[in-house]
Amino acid sequence: MAAFKETTFPVDAPAAEKAVGWIDDRFPLTKLWNDQWGAYYAPKNLNFWYIFGILATLILVMQIVTGIFLTMHYKPDANLAFGSVEYIMREVPWGWLVRYMHSTGASAFFIVIYLHMTRALIYGSYRKPRELLWLFGFAIFLALMAEAFFGYLLPWGQMSYWGAQVIVNLFGAIPLIGPDLSLWIRGDYVVSDATLNRFFAFHVIAIPLVILGLVAAHLIALHEVGSNNPDGIEVKDTLGPDGHPLDAVPSHPYYTFHDLFGVSVFLLIFSAVVFFAPEMGGYFLEYNNFIPADSLKTPLHIAPTWYFTPFYSVLRAITADFMYVLMAVVAAYVVFVFLKSRLAFKTKAIIAVVGLLMIIGMLPAILDAKFWGVMLFGASVMILAAMPWLDHSPVKSIRYRPTWHKYVYALFALSFVTLGYLGTQAPSPVGGVVSQVCTLIYFSFFLLMPWWSTMGRFKPVPQRVTFHPH
């Protein structure tokens, strides 16, 4: 540690320069700015797909600010909650705008995050050395789902109530401890005032704190390893005489203004939705939620908000008949791993034992379909975390992968969207079969990735990024 030394400035130096100097002697303000943004060198070939990170940050700030003002009028009490939301909508000056910004912001957050994740998927942004960056991002996604779920109970409408009832009961499917766990989460024998109060605490303080911490970790990790780019090559491998990557530019001013343009376009679309279609035909705000919670009557059609429906469809797809298909699939996968993988024999043996236990557990007499539905529902989210270790492709970006890989991604995207659509619809026999097929495609994409990602003719990856000055 060097001794403290006050920086001296000429007498006629500007006051602002002196002030920053005074601060820098006591707190690394300029250093932080330069490390995190000002002199952070980002690849110059970043395209449209790279706007969603900054948009997610913007929405996070917007949700926190609007949330604070909503909290000033909202009452977390089972008898008053529904009325207080209507009070915000009808009687608080401009309350409707703050509330619609918050509710539209929730859906916008998920749209932006899903696109942000798609970007990572197609350009291989989760690959080494960005595994932790991906895991932090994945944790933010989980926290965001929790935040959205807790927040959805607060208006205390029919959808709020029965949505919470179904999700809390998911934990009841865990053998032995399940029912007590559900009871512990609710704090009552039914979803009630106690549940509403604790969900409020989670929504307004606990989860936001976690999200802020994770976002900080995500950004620090990003600025440590550097941004990936659409070519999936490391710009740090080609340094210029000034020690900075030749193919990168400082974020300020280049990406500051680039991103401001993207933010403007986003706000244009966002405002249009807030002012003209805040309910988005029942997708952003479900109509049944305009009816106060009634513990004696479930609405005739209940579905989670759109951003949960792909995973919810997986849950619904698991029926007693489908268990036999799953048993066959697990058996086939274990055989496949044994024949085709280069894993150590010990690892293979562990996989075989786990597979065998799963098959036994899937017998109707052991664990019912409800349990496996909940397990696969959880697995469909958690499997995303394994991406950095499932993808063995020699190149990162889709640009240099075999063309048919694009069809694999397209099929995966199609099955994800189909699951999402079916999750918003009432259960039907045809929809059930389609969602079962899509569930199999969804999991195959990930579980077979170690093989298919290495197959085919890869295109040569250039040394320098593809960039056309304009």
Partner 1 sequence: MSNEKLVDPGRRGLMVATCAAGGVVGLATAGALVSTFQPSERAKAAGAPVEVDISDVAPGTMKVVEWRGNPVWILRRTPEMMASLANNDSKVADPLSDKFYQIEVPAYAKNETRSRAEHKEVLVVVGICSHLGCSPSSRFAEGAQPSLPNDWNGGFLCPCHGSTFDLAARVFKNKPAPTNLDVPPYMYLSDTRIVIGKDEKGEA
Shortest distance (Å) from residue 257 CB to partner 1:
47
Is 237 or 321 the residue whose CB approaches partner 1 more closely? 321
Is 103 or 288 the residue whose CB approaches partner 1 more closely? 288
Contact criterion met (CB below 8 Å) for 206 and 151: no
Shortest distance (Å) from residue 198 CB to partner 1:
7
H/E segment holding residue 304 = none
- Contacts of residue 325, Cβ cutoff 8 Å, sequence gap at least 6: 436, 440
Q: What does the angle CA 57 – CA 63 – CA 64 come to, to the nearest 5 degrees?
A: 95
Is 267 or 291 the residue whose CB approaches partner 1 more closely? 291
Shortest distance (Å) from residue 214 CB to partner 1:
21
Contact criterion met (CB below 8 Å) for 112 and 55: yes
- The response to whether 218 counts as a known ligand-binding position is yes
Which of these, 114, 211, 435, 202, lies nearest to 303 by C-alpha position? 435
Is 195 or 228 the residue whose CB approaches partner 1 more closely? 195
H/E segment holding residue 160 = helix 158-170
Give the span between the Cα atoms of 324 and 328, in whole angstroms. 6
Contact criterion met (CB below 8 Å) for 38 and 250: yes
Shortest distance (Å) from residue 367 CB to partner 1:
10
Bridge partners for 43 per DSSP? 248
- CA 71 to the chain's CA centroid: 25
Which of these, 351, 349, 360, 315, lies nearest to 333 by C-alpha position? 351
Tokens of 112: 């932006």
- The response to whether 252 counts as a known ligand-binding position is no
Give the span between the Cα atoms of 147 and 396, in whole angstroms. 32
Contact criterion met (CB below 8 Å) for 130 and 225: yes
Is 238 or 319 the residue whose CB approaches partner 1 more closely? 319
Is 172 or 292 the residue whose CB approaches partner 1 more closely? 172
Is 178 or 262 the residue whose CB approaches partner 1 more closely? 178
Shortest distance (Å) from residue 100 CB to partner 1:
28
Give the span between the Cα atoms of 435 and 258, in whole angstroms. 41
C-beta neighbour count of 49 within 10 angstroms: 17
Is 189 or 345 the residue whose CB approaches partner 1 more closely? 189
Tokens of 121: 């998927």
Shortest distance (Å) from residue 205 CB to partner 1:
14
Contact criterion met (CB below 8 Å) for 400 and 410: no
- Contacts of residue 239, Cβ cutoff 8 Å, sequence gap at least 6: 245, 246
- Contacts of residue 33, Cβ cutoff 8 Å, sequence gap at least 6: none
Shortest distance (Å) from residue 193 CB to partner 1:
9
H/E segment holding residue 248 = strand 248-250
Shortest distance (Å) from residue 293 CB to partner 1:
12
Is 421 or 452 the residue whose CB approaches partner 1 more closely? 421
Is 121 or 369 the residue whose CB approaches partner 1 more closely? 369
Give the span between the Cα atoms of 371 and 173, in whole angstroms. 5
Q: Give the binding site for partner 1 (CB under 8 A).
A: 162, 165-166, 168-170, 172, 179, 183-190, 192, 194, 198, 295-302, 316, 318-321, 368-370, 373, 426-428, 432
Which of these, 320, 350, 358, 317, lies nearest to 442 by C-alpha position? 317
Shortest distance (Å) from residue 124 CB to partner 1:
37
Q: What does the angle CA 171 – CA 167 – CA 145 come to, to the nearest 5 degrees?
A: 110
Shortest distance (Å) from residue 165 CB to partner 1:
5
Residues flagged as binding site: 102, 116, 203, 218, 223
Residues flagged as binding site for a ubiquinone: 223
